[in-house]
Structure 1
């Protein structure tokens, strides 16, 4: 791992969505205009993923 980090590589699975799309999903959730199922279908994510985005957004 240290050799990979030295080359500028990181381990782990790549993120599904960029920060802009994450913020959009959280905003849609907080506006309460759409159901959780609808938001998940629009963003192509699962409910636990959406809830983790909401939780991480509220910590900041």
Structure 2
């Protein structure tokens, strides 16, 4: 959405603009909630992967 004097005069377009931005924010917020809930699991997976790579470099 480009802020423009002509766009602000056409209100329906602006409403569509705002609703698209709200949908995007809602999706980002939901993704963030999922990540926040599963952060310990995600950290464990990352830790295990790093450990495996490190282990294989030293011992293989």
Which TM-score applies when normalising by structure 2?
A: 0.30
Which TM-score applies when normalising by structure 1?
A: 0.30
Structure showing greater radius of gyration is 2
Larger helix percent? 2
